[in-house]
Structure 1
């Protein structure tokens, strides 16, 4: 007679083995599903729904792409390689503000003189990784002559009468601004940001259980923690003074009054140099960006002036005998009646109407004692100037295309291809061979 107890034991073993196999298979499927989701391209809807903020590199191309997406007109971000006064003077003017990137350290500024800043638009940074957009927005909102576009203008109007922390909260909660900020990110960037925030929250809970840390005396030299993050702050001229706008400070800090015939950057440069000297022993890297009037706009305006100058000169020379033979082979490169070509250089009829001729040039052209050869010399100079401006415009367009390539390269996610390549290597035993060899 068979022992009836053996069958249940066998069945239990089989069930346990089956459960183990099923669990392993389910785990593998779950892993593959999670991996697939982590590597999938992020959609526009997901980008808008995600409430986090990713870090933005201090790359002018990215900031310029953000400006275009935000709808800001005729502003360009350029990298500044020196804070020397002569170098700053070569940047496109006007300079609306500077964005400075440095490794963050807390500062004592409460003893600084408090200057009335009520007319400034200033927002605090209320969420991690938003400092790049906070700094740029703090500059743009104080530019009186800049077209902010519909969305940013509405945001400025809606936050004009709220306190600085609530402005920061409104900025952090604005889906349009946040989506533009995150437009360079990939799904893995989002996952890393979420993981970092989760870890930071867990560490904060641990620290709160330990109680407050002991206070230590501050030193003039700041010894940086290698884990300290980098931070963007802004500098602007506004309301007769130069200001530092740091979203992590409770208020704007006045650096001093504007002076006649002195570029406002002259007050900022010593401040930036002082910050850099504090860390000269640490060999840390810094970065400085300038928000300037777009060179394309400046070139278009200058081209419109040359066209107006040609028209003034032609009205003076059309009665001169032999003038056409004199200018033959050296024709005007760009005329006011070439509508399509003008559009290619960002010029329309209203720009030609607004264009003003240099008073000194006008004085020479209208001088009745000017000889034909003297007028021809003016004409030749105009031809040279116009050709040069057209070349500068095309060069700037080429720079913009290079920027677009950088942005597209940053947005392109190679993770799925790399993962698939590694899987293929594993299937062919290459990874196992590498592991054995090492």
Structure 2
């Protein structure tokens, strides 16, 4: 399944922000830590709207078993083109789930309007949008500009990155976005068979809505409760 290997990204909003800017997302967007799922005052500090959420969490046998059982009931995703509810990237680069979550956040919904023309990311979207998942995955694999931008930030952060890209990492990134077409909340994980619809959001709701935060709380509870190893970042407007 994995044909290429990257050093994993640290769950750090500064690292994620630097990477999206180097790929061509306007500096008017950035990633910020979500410090609480329940405290209204802490949530109120985040600029709105939130265009995407990136969740990193420890993978466990129970999580992997549950997702395998869920995926067994789903059809493989084969959609492409402008009619897609969301842009979905199948993960074929090992240890790069943070990159795929970042791409899912920036290529979907209104966030895509902040991708600058002629940028690396704009080129990837233009080339890959009309392709089915397998071919779209190859576009990412073959992009030297994407790999170069990724490598320039992957070694940054507060913790040392693994020296070998093939080292196994026990954490996984997923993304939550709101569809630009039908207002549905989606969980996007390049390791899953397809985008997972979580139901509709109201017109004035973003991904920091109660519906999405409830999904994340459930995931944390299934992992043993309030786990400090869970980390959440939001793609939001940057402070002017």
TM bin (shorter chain):
0.7 to 0.9
- Do the aligned partners of residues 242 and 182 (structure 1) sit closer, same or farther apart at CA in structure 2, a change above 3 Å counting? same
**Looking at both structures, which has the greater relative contact order when contacts are Cα pairs under 8 Å and sequence separation is at least 6?**
2
2:51 partner SS = strand
Q: Higher mean Cα deviation, 152-161 or 109-118?
A: 109-118
1:375 aligns with: none
Q: C-alpha root-mean-square deviation of aligned residues, in Å? A: 2.8
Q: Does 1:95 align with 2:55?
A: no
Q: Distance in 1 between matches of 2:36 and 2:228?
A: 16
Q: Is the 8 A contact 1:103 1:228 kept in 2?
A: no
Q: Is the 8 A contact 1:64 1:76 kept in 2?
A: yes
Q: CA distance change for structure 1 residues 261 and 292 in 2, over 3 Å: closer, same or farther?
A: closer
Work out whether residues 82 and 88 of structure 1, in 8 Å CA contact, stay in contact via their aligned partners in 2.
Answer: yes
Instruction: Indicate whether 1:291 and 2:232 are aligned.
Output: no
Indicate yes or no: 2:223 matched with 1:254. Answer: no
Q: Does 1:232 align with 2:204?
A: no
Equivalent residue number for residue 70 of structure 2: 109
Which residue number corresponds to residue 79 of structure 1? Answer: 33
Alpha-carbon distance in 2 for matches of 1:268, 1:243: 9
Partner of residue 6, structure 2 = 53
Provide the secondary structure at the position in 2 that maps to 1:120.
coil
Identify unmatched segments of 5+ residues in structure 1.
Answer: 1-50, 197-226, 297-438
Distance, in Å, in 1 between the alignment partners of 2:37 and 2:210 is: 9
- Secondary structure of 2:164's counterpart equals helix
From 126, 142, 148, give the equivalent of 1:179.
148
Partners of 1:91 and 1:61 in 2: CA distance: 15
TM-score computed with the length of structure 1 as normaliser: 0.45
Contact 1:96–1:236, Cα closer than 8 Å, also in 2:
yes
More helix by share: 1
Which one of the candidate residues 211, 220, 227 is aligned to 1:276? 220
Asked if structure 1 preserves the Cα contact closer than 8 Å seen for 2:5 and 2:165, the reply is yes
Question: Could you tell me whether the CA contact under 8 Å between 2:10 and 2:154 is conserved in 1?
Answer: no
Displacement of 1:184 in angstroms is: 3.1
1:122 aligns with 2:122: no
Q: Does 1:133 align with 2:76?
A: no
Structure 2: 5+ residue stretches without partners: none
- In 2 relative to 1, CA 229–126 (structure 1 residues): closer, same or farther, beyond 3 Å? same
In structure 1, distance between residues paired with 2:122 and 2:211: 29
- Post-superposition CA distance 1:337-376 (Å, at most 9, x none): xxxxxxxxxxxxxxxxxxxxxxxxxxxxxxxxxxxxxxxx
Residues 52 and 121 (structure 1), Cα distance of their counterparts in 2 relative to 1, 3 Å cut: same
Pairwise CA distance, 1:83: 1.4
Q: Distance in 2 between matches of 1:88 and 1:254?
A: 24
Cα offsets for 1:250-289 (capped at 9, x unmatched): 1100001112554442211011001101122695611000
TM-score between the two structures when normalised by the length of structure 2? 0.78
Aligned counterparts, 1:336-355, within 5 A: none
Larger radius of gyration: 1
- SS of the residue aligned with 1:192? coil
Report which of the two has the higher share of strand.
Answer: 2
1:66 equivalent in alignment to 2:12: no
Correspondences of 1:25-424 after superposition (within 5 Å): 52-73=5-26, 74-84=28-38, 86=40, 87-104=42-59, 105-106=63-64, 107=67, 108-110=69-71, 111=73, 118-144=84-110, 146-149=113-116, 150-185=119-154, 191-193=163-165, 196=167, 229-238=170-179, 239=181, 240-264=183-207, 265-280=209-224, 285-296=229-240
Q: Counterparts of 2:44 and 2:70 in 1: how far apart (Å)? A: 30
